[in-house]
């Protein structure tokens, strides 16, 4: 039996809901449908990774075009069916020097900025906040070691929100019940480990991807430049529910962060 009190379907209402959902996701840095490029960078490290990628792509395109030209020219000029026979060159000093020196300079041009970026990634600046990340099958535990509740660190578990419980504007397979909240424009240190198997804590917009290994602490330093919500996922196959342990980092102004910490301690 049809309930006549239910309002009829109106396309305009759906458009309004879709618009509201888009507005709710304005500050959400997550993947998009058919996305091919990087997500918008929110940290200096991610900006450096994107710039390095663009610089390397310049060399890759030139090399690819040159190699393709050589292959096509070789196929055309030395076609046996046309009676073309290649000359036999036993030794070519100039050619050997060229194909040794030119790739060496290309590798140097690639290596120097790469080393600078690797140094910046590993540089451990004096952090204002330290957060310990512990991977479990299949959820994350976060400990704010700078704050204590009942003589122990402020800690909470973070599980994926089931699809049936998602609210308007929330992302499927990416939303969690408890987000990490951090202040913007602050040096933050993440200490990442695992309680069972290998995991990987990865947030693309922040340029972070660190393996979580049992019995070992790995470190990542992050400086978030703008407010927003940043999504990631476990990037190491860790079992049957590997795809269901997302990561959500929310960056807020310092005063809001202080208020959030106070509420967590009181709770």
Structural domains in the chain plus CATH codes: 44-80+91-122 (1.10.287.90), 129-266 (2.60.40.420)
pLDDT class for 154, splitting at 50, 70, 90? Answer: confident
Q: Is 140 helix (H, G, I), strand (E, B) or coil?
A: strand
pLDDT in tens, 209-261: 999 999 999 999 999 999 999 999 999 999 999 999 999 999 999 999 999 99
Strand partners of residue 188: 129, 222
- Residues in contact with 77: Cβ distance below 8 Å, sequence separation at least 6, in sequence order: 84, 86
Flag whether pLDDT at 112 surpasses 50.
Answer: yes
Lowest mean pLDDT among 13-17, 104-108, 228-232: 13-17
Residue range 69-82: average pLDDT?
79
How distant, in Å, are the alpha carbons of 43, 91, 165, 257 from that of 180? 16, 63, 20, 11
Q: Global pTM?
A: 0.76
- Average per-residue pLDDT for the chain: 83
- pLDDT score, position 23: 43
**153 vs 265: CA distance, rounded Å:** 10
- pLDDT score, position 230: 93
pLDDT in tens, 157-215: 999 999 888 888 888 899 999 999 999 999 999 999 999 999 999 999 999 999 999 99
CB of 137 closer than 8 Å to CB of 196: yes
- pLDDT score, position 86: 66
**60 vs 56: CA distance, rounded Å:** 6
- pLDDT score, position 134: 96
pLDDT class for 8, splitting at 50, 70, 90? Answer: very low
Burial 123-162 (b: 16+ CB within 10 A, else e): eeeebebebbbbbbbbbbbbbbeeeeeeeeebbeebebbe
Report how far Cα 60 is from the mean position of its chain's Cα atoms. 23
* Gyration radius (Cα) of the chain, Å: 26
Flag whether pLDDT at 11 surpasses 70.
Answer: no
Q: Is 174 helix (H, G, I), strand (E, B) or coil?
A: coil
Q: Which residue has the higher pLDDT, 109 or 244?
A: 244
């Amino acid at each position: 039996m049809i309930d006549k009190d239910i309002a009829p379907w109106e396309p305009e209402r759906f458009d309004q809901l879709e618009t509201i959902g888009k507005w709710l996701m304005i500050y959400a840095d997550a993947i998009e449908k058919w996305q091919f490029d990087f997500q918008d960078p929110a940290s200096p490290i991610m900006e450096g990774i994107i710039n390095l990628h663009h610089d390397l792509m310049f060399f890759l395109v030139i090399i690819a075009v040159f190699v393709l030209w050589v292959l096509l020219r070789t196929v055309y000029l030395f076609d046996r069916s046309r009676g073309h026979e290649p000359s036999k060159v036993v030794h070519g000093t100039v050619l050997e020097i060229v194909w040794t020196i030119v790739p060496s300079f290309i590798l140097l041009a690639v290596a120097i900025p790469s080393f600078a970026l690797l140094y910046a990634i590993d540089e451990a600046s004096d952090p204002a906040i330290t957060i310990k990340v512990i991977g479990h099958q299949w959820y994350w535990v976060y400990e704010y070691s700078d704050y204590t509740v009942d003589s122990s660190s402020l800690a909470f578990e973070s599980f994926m929100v089931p699809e049936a419980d998602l609210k308007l504007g929330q992302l499927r397979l990416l939303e969690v019940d408890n987000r990490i909240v951090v202040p913007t424009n602050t040096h933050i240190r993440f200490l990442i480990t695992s309680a069972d198997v290998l995991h990987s804590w990865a947030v693309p917009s922040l340029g972070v991807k660190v393996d979580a290994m049992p019995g070992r602490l790995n470190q990542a330093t992050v400086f978030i430049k703008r407010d927003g919500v940043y999504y990631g996922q476990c990037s190491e196959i860790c079992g049957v529910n590997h795809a269901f342990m997302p990561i959500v980092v929310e960056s807020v102004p310092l005063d809001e962060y202080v208020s959030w910490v106070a509420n967590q301690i009181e709770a």
